[in-house]
Chain A
């Protein structure tokens, strides 16, 4: 066998592949790489230690200096050569991958390997046109990629291809006992030209934080389980590297009564009972076709074959004892909670083989309904109407992928648009293509691969300084922003009489704060300027609720309507120019500059209004007849903590980008100078629908804490202190909301790139890929 022969070339002792050569340090704990089915020891893998990680990052950093400076065409050429290298050694790749993962060889051979080549070729094209299409962006630097054992080498390809294409270099941390990534690194290394751009080390996931904290690592991408991702998110708060998460593997299938049921049953097979997907499936079946569907499913299951992955005629292989035990545990629990379990298929009855499993009648409130469904389990539940299906589908914390089966176009699109997931296939399941962005939302993480979105994961606007750790070791997460400093009367009010106290702008009107206290705002001379309301946890709760209520109405507004509201707001802002400018002036801004700030703020509102029109686009995929829509959907309720600097301009820039993309907003204005923002609220009260924008003043740390820990805030932008940024990153692990923090660094809001650049647009919405295969 060619795979054994390759293992023999390494004396059955695999090392790490670093800087274009094998790295086999002495005195390391070895972990055996086993055949998941027979348990046979295939090779031993030394586990990396911190110094091996450091060596790999150092190699990647050195390689980056050259690689990132190359013209895109040279990188394109390299990627094309690597694609050919894979083609030459494809037999070795597929037999090795199937042997060590236990997955069915035909799936690896007919799908994964061609896709891996396609990925390289497509990204070669992206690299070639980079100077033209990605002007204004530059590669981040060294990327760390952490893979968990359940993900195949293809997941690595999905991420290294865009990273390499745009000019980043990569260090991949794979769990011990996964030689395929090592082989790929070796193939890349044997091209000779650029050692060190792709380095693979094997070691436990606990090395992740060590990898992330190496100097030079700018981003860490993690694929794995949700809980692991949560832990990593907390651990990496305040670290230098940005974190991208792709979590969980469960998928969803909605079967309507207007579906081609037999084809939908094949969709279920693709989604859960083949070696195509890593996770289980939640299956929603319309009540009227429940019996018919269950019968067909059971009939189909009986014909599935499981067995050794290298057998060319099996549908499902086995994925080792861990996957078996996970499925076993889930099924037993489901049974104990009252579910019906049906198992069938020609599958060996010994571990690690696990038969295709269909779970039904699971009580809606049972723990198993909430838990992630493992491979190869399908959990079926009935629903009555499309509306109910949407409510059930969106009622989980997961948001990966889903398919909708209906021959009624209108219904299929209604469901496709309504599902809160990253990918929707209409009348198909599990299609993938390098040019189509794939990702998720909610707890499935918000990192993307494929398509334009996959490239931006590894780019930053040109001129952005490198990310450095801003870790504050003594930041106490339990107490940060917990208590609101008390505001006591502080001497006589002198100077001109202060403006009347402002309330909190919630649900379209000014309200008194729950705490019934105010804070005083001083001008640049230290005189009292005004009193503003002291907002607290209850006020944040109310604001988030109001924003949620406004969300459906705002989302359904056509972009044109959003644009005209933003334009109306811009005009209102201009009408208030003198009041706004004088408020700014009192905070030490020269009158001339203040006027410019007001003018620029109105311009931002108009510019984003205009951009609201141009959202999303159509992708054409070679193999698929029919289009793939790349939709840009709002994040939902977006919380924004504005910076202290540029009190009006930063507020307007952030608000405009957020509203243009259909978000509803809870906003904390500049702490030093919240008056201009509150002035604008008076116009928003008359112009905007109630609850669309909510502005809460108060202690910034306290409000930040409330927002970051709020499970129903769907994204958070924070511009404030380094400590606050670190807290936000840490707290976002709760619902894994995407966050954007400035780590205490000021931004040039008056500059076009930083104040209104495409980065804001990217952050303000999430992508959804909607596949629409066509045929008569």
Chain B
């Protein structure tokens, strides 16, 4: 995490002055996906970079310590060792950016990561995830408990009732959605959010992070997200401190693409370890 956003005086004129032209943003979103086609070794490098942004996530009602443990192991060893060796990056300590679980599973995750000898941070969703429609008191308590269990990052669901009635909250990181909505991370929405991040940085000097979550499943998608960040915010934002991808199945597709790049063959599902 970067330095905390110390906040600023709320100036609602910033918001009322914002103009967003939807058709123009949609066209930009289409362009970004087409204008940066990286291929071959450059693609492999970008994919490995993408791995370092992943918040490897499991948010299922039936999560138990065993699948959380498996997830943590995968976070520590995201790509098969021999593939990394072939690319000569096996000694770089490549891991995902974090693991992300429900508050009740934080304990399991911390334990599993400790056992694996890893310092990967544990993120927890909290505050009545995914709706956020619980009392402030229980929401705060939830955060307190998750932190006590060892979570170092909390994905807070803001109270959207307040937002929709114009009462805003501040944050260090903004996320496209919970990943549990009908529509989650889309490019047009992301473009608007990223432009807001840039404007905020220009006005206050504070860098706010960005995390798209939900529906990012293919390696190709992840590349488009990276180029979106690079194009709209610049390289400074391409670090795990300021950019995360919330995903559960993305990693295995990236690994398959790396496999193909190294071997020239397409992998069968059983060729690669599951998470």
Q: B-contacting residues of A (Cβ < 8 Å)?
A: 106, 110, 258-264, 266-267, 295, 303, 312-313, 315, 405, 407, 427-428, 625-626, 773-776
Are B23 and A313 in contact, with the CB atoms below 8 A? Answer: no
Are A106 and B37 in contact, with the CB atoms below 8 A? Answer: yes
B114 within 8 Å of A by Cβ?
no
Could you tell me the dominant secondary structure of chain A's interface residues?
loop
B20 within 8 Å of A by Cβ?
yes
B88 within 8 Å of A by Cβ?
no
- Among B22, B39, B234, the most chain A Cβ lie within 10 Å of the Cβ of B22
Are B35 and A315 in contact, with the CB atoms below 8 A? Answer: yes
Are B24 and A776 in contact, with the CB atoms below 8 A? Answer: no
Measured between beta carbons, the chain B residues less than 8 angstroms from A312 are: 37-39
3 nearest A-B residue pairs (beta carbon): A775-B22, A263-B24, A312-B37
Measured between beta carbons, the chain A residues less than 8 angstroms from B24 are: 260, 263-264, 266-267, 427-428, 773
* Given A313-B37, A775-B26, 7 more pairs with CB closer than 8 A: A259-B19, A263-B20, A263-B24, A264-B24, A295-B202, A312-B39, A773-B23
Which residue from chain B places its CB closest to the CB of A430 in the assembled complex?
B27
Q: Report B1-23 CB contacts with A as 1/0, cut-off 8 Å.
A: 00000000000000000011111
B34 within 8 Å of A by Cβ?
yes
- The answer, among A106, A110, A261, A774, for a CB contact under 8 Å with B23, is A774
- The answer, among A106, A262, A428, for a CB contact under 8 Å with B195, is A262
Which residue from chain B places its CB closest to the CB of A775 in the assembled complex?
B22
Which residue from chain B places its CB closest to the CB of A109 in the assembled complex?
B34
- The answer, among B25, B27, B38, B195, for a CB contact under 8 Å with A313, is B38
Are B195 and A626 in contact, with the CB atoms below 8 A? Answer: no
What's the least CB distance linking B45 to chain A, in Å? 13
Are A263 and B35 in contact, with the CB atoms below 8 A? Answer: no
Measured between beta carbons, the chain B residues less than 8 angstroms from A313 are: 35-38
Measured between beta carbons, the chain A residues less than 8 angstroms from B231 are: 303
B85 within 8 Å of A by Cβ?
no
B28 within 8 Å of A by Cβ?
yes
- The answer, among A266, A315, A407, for a CB contact under 8 Å with B19, is A407
Which residue from chain B places its CB closest to the CB of A302 in the assembled complex?
B234
A sample of 12 cross-chain residue pairs with beta-carbon separation below 8 angstroms, ordered by A number, consists of A106-B35, A258-B19, A260-B21, A262-B195, A263-B28, A266-B24, A266-B27, A267-B24, A303-B230, A303-B231, A313-B35, A775-B22
Which residue from chain B places its CB closest to the CB of A258 in the assembled complex?
B19
Q: Considering the chains assembled together, what is the distance between the CA atoms of A315 and B230 in angstroms?
A: 14
Measured between beta carbons, the chain B residues less than 8 angstroms from A405 are: 21
Q: Considering the chains assembled together, what is the distance between the CA atoms of A775 and B36 in angstroms?
A: 26
Which residue from chain B places its CB closest to the CB of A266 in the assembled complex?
B28
What's the least CB distance linking A314 to chain B, in Å? 8
Known A-B contacts A263-B28, A266-B28; the reply to A776 vs B35 at CB < 8 A is: no
Q: Considering the chains assembled together, what is the distance between the CA atoms of A440 and B88 in angstroms?
A: 58
Q: Considering the chains assembled together, what is the distance between the CA atoms of A261 and B17 in angstroms?
A: 11
Q: Considering the chains assembled together, what is the distance between the CA atoms of A612 and B31 in angstroms?
A: 42
Measured between beta carbons, the chain B residues less than 8 angstroms from A776 are: 22
B15-68: which have CB < 8 Å to A? 19-28, 31, 34-39
- The answer, among B23, B35, B37, B202, for a CB contact under 8 Å with A428, is B23
Are A110 and B26 in contact, with the CB atoms below 8 A? Answer: no
Are A303 and B234 in contact, with the CB atoms below 8 A? Answer: yes
Could you tell me the dominant secondary structure of chain B's interface residues?
helix
Size of the B side of the interface (Cβ < 8 Å), in residues, is: 22
What's the least CB distance linking A541 to chain B, in Å? 46
Which residue from chain B places its CB closest to the CB of A624 in the assembled complex?
B23
Known A-B contacts A266-B28, A303-B231, A303-B234; the reply to A775 vs B23 at CB < 8 A is: yes
- The answer, among B19, B21, B195, for a CB contact under 8 Å with A775, is B21
Measured between beta carbons, the chain B residues less than 8 angstroms from A775 are: 21-23, 26
Measured between beta carbons, the chain A residues less than 8 angstroms from B195 are: 262
What's the least CB distance linking A262 to chain B, in Å? 5
What's the least CB distance linking B16 to chain A, in Å? 12
What's the least CB distance linking A410 to chain B, in Å? 15
Are A427 and B39 in contact, with the CB atoms below 8 A? Answer: no
Measured between beta carbons, the chain B residues less than 8 angstroms from A106 are: 34-35, 37
- The answer, among B20, B202, B234, for a CB contact under 8 Å with A260, is B20
Which residue from chain B places its CB closest to the CB of A110 in the assembled complex?
B34
Measured between beta carbons, the chain B residues less than 8 angstroms from A261 are: 19
Measured between beta carbons, the chain B residues less than 8 angstroms from A407 are: 19, 21
Q: Considering the chains assembled together, what is the distance between the CA atoms of A732 and B231 in angstroms?
A: 48
Q: Considering the chains assembled together, what is the distance between the CA atoms of A776 and B20 in angstroms?
A: 9
Which residue from chain B places its CB closest to the CB of A407 in the assembled complex?
B19
Q: Considering the chains assembled together, what is the distance between the CA atoms of A494 and B231 in angstroms?
A: 89
What's the least CB distance linking B104 to chain A, in Å? 40
What's the least CB distance linking A664 to chain B, in Å? 37
Q: Considering the chains assembled together, what is the distance between the CA atoms of A321 and B28 in angstroms?
A: 31
B67-109: which have CB < 8 Å to A? none
What's the least CB distance linking B151 to chain A, in Å? 35
What's the least CB distance linking A430 to chain B, in Å? 10
Measured between beta carbons, the chain B residues less than 8 angstroms from A258 are: 19
Are B37 and A263 in contact, with the CB atoms below 8 A? Answer: no
Measured between beta carbons, the chain B residues less than 8 angstroms from A262 are: 195
What's the least CB distance linking B156 to chain A, in Å? 27
Are A428 and B19 in contact, with the CB atoms below 8 A? Answer: no
- Among B19, B34, B195, the most chain A Cβ lie within 10 Å of the Cβ of B19
What's the least CB distance linking B121 to chain A, in Å? 30
Measured between beta carbons, the chain A residues less than 8 angstroms from B25 are: 260, 263
What's the least CB distance linking B18 to chain A, in Å? 8
Measured between beta carbons, the chain A residues less than 8 angstroms from B20 are: 260, 263
Measured between beta carbons, the chain A residues less than 8 angstroms from B37 are: 106, 312-313
Which residue from chain A places its CB closest to the CB of B196 in the assembled complex?
A262
Q: Considering the chains assembled together, what is the distance between the CA atoms of A260 and B26 in angstroms?
A: 13
Measured between beta carbons, the chain A residues less than 8 angstroms from B22 are: 775-776
Are A626 and B28 in contact, with the CB atoms below 8 A? Answer: no
Which residue from chain A places its CB closest to the CB of B235 in the assembled complex?
A303
Which residue from chain B places its CB closest to the CB of A262 in the assembled complex?
B195
Q: Considering the chains assembled together, what is the distance between the CA atoms of A259 and B21 in angstroms?
A: 8
What's the least CB distance linking B273 to chain A, in Å? 32
Q: Considering the chains assembled together, what is the distance between the CA atoms of A319 and B208 in angstroms?
A: 40
Q: Considering the chains assembled together, what is the distance between the CA atoms of A262 and B28 in angstroms?
A: 10
Q: Considering the chains assembled together, what is the distance between the CA atoms of A267 and B234 in angstroms?
A: 19
Q: Considering the chains assembled together, what is the distance between the CA atoms of A313 and B230 in angstroms?
A: 13
Q: Considering the chains assembled together, what is the distance between the CA atoms of A264 and B38 in angstroms?
A: 27
Are A626 and B23 in contact, with the CB atoms below 8 A? Answer: yes
Measured between beta carbons, the chain A residues less than 8 angstroms from B34 are: 106, 110
Q: Considering the chains assembled together, what is the distance between the CA atoms of A428 and B25 in angstroms?
A: 10
What's the least CB distance linking B37 to chain A, in Å? 4
Measured between beta carbons, the chain B residues less than 8 angstroms from A774 are: 23
Measured between beta carbons, the chain B residues less than 8 angstroms from A427 are: 21, 23-24
What's the least CB distance linking A382 to chain B, in Å? 19
Q: Considering the chains assembled together, what is the distance between the CA atoms of A407 and B25 in angstroms?
A: 13
What's the least CB distance linking B225 to chain A, in Å? 16
Q: Considering the chains assembled together, what is the distance between the CA atoms of A249 and B196 in angstroms?
A: 35
Q: Considering the chains assembled together, what is the distance between the CA atoms of A264 and B20 in angstroms?
A: 10
Q: Considering the chains assembled together, what is the distance between the CA atoms of A130 and B28 in angstroms?
A: 38
Which residue from chain B places its CB closest to the CB of A431 in the assembled complex?
B27
Measured between beta carbons, the chain A residues less than 8 angstroms from B36 are: 313
Q: Considering the chains assembled together, what is the distance between the CA atoms of A776 and B39 in angstroms?
A: 36
B223-241: which have CB < 8 Å to A? 230-231, 234
Measured between beta carbons, the chain B residues less than 8 angstroms from A263 are: 20-21, 24-25, 28
Which residue from chain A places its CB closest to the CB of B42 in the assembled complex?
A313
Q: Considering the chains assembled together, what is the distance between the CA atoms of A427 and B195 in angstroms?
A: 18
Which residue from chain B places its CB closest to the CB of A311 in the assembled complex?
B37
What's the least CB distance linking A100 to chain B, in Å? 21
Measured between beta carbons, the chain A residues less than 8 angstroms from B28 are: 263, 266
Which residue from chain A places its CB closest to the CB of B24 in the assembled complex?
A263
Which residue from chain A places its CB closest to the CB of B191 in the assembled complex?
A262
Measured between beta carbons, the chain B residues less than 8 angstroms from A260 are: 19-21, 24-25
Which residue from chain B places its CB closest to the CB of A313 in the assembled complex?
B36
Q: Considering the chains assembled together, what is the distance between the CA atoms of A313 and B25 in angstroms?
A: 20
What's the least CB distance linking B136 to chain A, in Å? 32
What's the least CB distance linking A594 to chain B, in Å? 60
Q: Considering the chains assembled together, what is the distance between the CA atoms of A106 and B35 in angstroms?
A: 7
Which residue from chain A places its CB closest to the CB of B22 in the assembled complex?
A775
What's the least CB distance linking A561 to chain B, in Å? 35
